[in-house]
Amino acid sequence: MSPEADIVVRGALPSDGPAVHALIERVGTLELNSGYAYLLLCDHFGSTSVVAERDGQLLGTVLGYRPPSRPDAIFVWQVGVDPAARGTGLGKKLLRAFTRTPGAAGARFLEATVAPSNAASRALFTSFARAESAPLAEQPGYGAPHLPMGHEPEPLLRIGPLSVSSLSLATSPTSPSPNFTSDRPKGPRSHA
């Protein structure tokens, strides 16, 4: 059995927040946000975020959401893969699961802003677009006026339209992909 077979990809839960923070810190190349920011992302955007784990250890995540001004898109805010799991295809597997989350239902485009120097992320999104047989377009994203001084511009990568068949799991909650669950706690939650 391959090590990848033991990896479970599932929807993010509020309890994943601390592990996601630690993962992003281990990745070392991503902007690290506060632990509370990751808690909120896993909680408020759990229906559009996924994590991958093996034996209880978080190996990867895709955090994202549906931009209110572009309801036909799902936006990747951060992709993180543990250094020990790089080169295994886990990033692409996570992106595929991300496009099939309950919160992605009806989205036809996957978007992300990626700095020109981020070769690994650009390669991941290019590979994903190729695997999905979908065009990838680069558009203006965030430039100097939007970012802190010294931060490299982040053009928008837009992949799609994604085929309806590739999104069938997102639109058919009765047919979840293997190893993907979106069990979320019910009821009110307090963070204050």
Look at residue 176 and tell me whether its pLDDT is greater than 70.
no
Strand-pair category, 73-81 with 109-113: parallel
pLDDT given at position 3: 52
Type of residue at 149:
M
Please report, rounded to a whole number, the percentage of residues in the chain having pLDDT higher than 90: 72
Q: Is residue 185 very low, low, confident or very high in pLDDT (cuts 50, 70, 90)?
A: very low
pLDDT given at position 33: 93
- Domains of the chain and any CATH numbers: 3-171 (3.40.630.30)
Which residue matches tokens 């019910």? 186
pLDDT digits (tens, 9 = 90+) for 12-34: 999 999 999 999 999 988 889 99
What's the rounded mean pLDDT across residues 75-88?
A: 94
Helix (H, G, I), strand (E, B) or coil at 167: helix
pLDDT given at position 93: 96
Type of residue at 34:
S
CB of 34 closer than 8 Å to CB of 42: no
**Torsional sign, CA 2, 128, 12, 112:** positive
Q: Which residues of 66-75 are buried (b: 16+ CB within 10 A; e: fewer)?
A: beeeeeebbb
Q: In whole numbers, what is the pLDDT of the chain averaged over residues?
A: 85
Q: Is residue 166 very low, low, confident or very high in pLDDT (cuts 50, 70, 90)?
A: low
Structure tokens at 192: 């204050």
Look at residue 102 and tell me whether its pLDDT is greater than 90.
yes
Cα(79)–Cα(7) distance, rounded to whole angstroms? 17
Look at residue 116 and tell me whether its pLDDT is greater than 50.
yes
Helix (H) or strand (E) holding 74: strand 73-81
Cα(178)–Cα(161) distance, rounded to whole angstroms? 24
pTM of the model: 0.83
Reported residue count of the chain is 192
pLDDT given at position 69: 94
Q: Is residue 146 very low, low, confident or very high in pLDDT (cuts 50, 70, 90)?
A: confident
**CA 152, 58, 33 angle in degrees (round to 5)?**
35
